[in-house]
Structure 1
Amino acid sequence: MTSSQCRPTGRKGRDLRKAVLAAYELAEHEQALLDDAAATVDLIEELSAQIERDGLMTEGGRVHPAVAEVRQQRITLARLLVALRIPTEDDADGDVPQIQAGARTQRRGLRGIYAVGGN
């Protein structure tokens, strides 16, 4: 997938894509994850603007629904970025013992609560 084929994003999503693509060469499946992450960043920005405009509380005294949605989208963004397996600043500096020793880092799946069959 070329950059011209990706779905349009807002400024923050474009900035994320640009930064990641400048530093890493991504496979097609990783490009799809990056596109989803960029769209999620833009959605978080839109929801945050809505909260800023409307306030944290609704007229009925309840928390604005966008507050919960921003929280969920931030969790989604974190999982997408973890799935891309982009090293953290600590990893890049060689602070991780496996990297210092030149060993391959262990690849693990995403962690979290995943209910199967509603249990």
Structure 2
Amino acid sequence: MAPSAPRGLGTTGRKLWRETVKRYELRTDELEILRAACGEADIIKSIEEALVDADLTTTGSMGQIVAHPLLSEVRQHRVTLASLLGRLKLPDEMGAGETNQQRGAAQSRWAAAFGTQVS
């Protein structure tokens, strides 16, 4: 039986958890990495929602136009999520002969489902 999602995860994190533990049997240390990744996925989703209606620039301390601070934050969280998922070293479910186009399509579906992109 697959382990239940940890308490406190949001919708995006729970979905990532369920889809992962449904396909793979993970060790305790890997479950902890997955838990952290699910938390990152929730943070990314929250930041992306906050940016939907936000201006992408703001005024800096010296009156200059600067990028919205959440843009940098979401980028950093995406890097963290990609790193955590990479540490799981899950086997590629696609066949050995998949094309770059097929891999790209699969990654696009994953990004749409979990609100981020892994490269």
TM-score exceeds 0.5: yes
Q: Deviations over 1:24-51 (max 9, x none)?
A: 1111100000000000000001111111
Unaligned runs of 5+ in 1: 97-119
Higher strand share: 2
Distance 1:15 1:62 in 2: 34
Distance 1:68 1:56 in 2: 11
User: Aligned residue for 2:71?
Assistant: 67
Say if 2:35 is the partner of 1:50.
Answer: no
Q: Deviations over 1:53-107 (max 9, x none)?
A: 32211255321110001001111011000001112344xx1339xxxxxxxxxxx
User: Aligned residue for 2:34?
Assistant: 34
Instruction: Give the TM-score normalised by the residue count of structure 1.
Output: 0.69
SS at match of 1:54: coil
Specify the structure having the higher radius of gyration (Cα): 1
Instruction: Give the TM-score normalised by the residue count of structure 2.
Output: 0.69
Distance 2:45 2:68 in 1: 15
Alignment of 1:1-119 (within 5 A): 2-3=3-4, 6-60=6-60, 61-90=65-94, 93-95=95-97
Distance 1:95 1:82 in 2: 21
| % identical aligned pairs | 35
Unaligned runs of 5+ in 2: 99-119
RMSD: 1.8
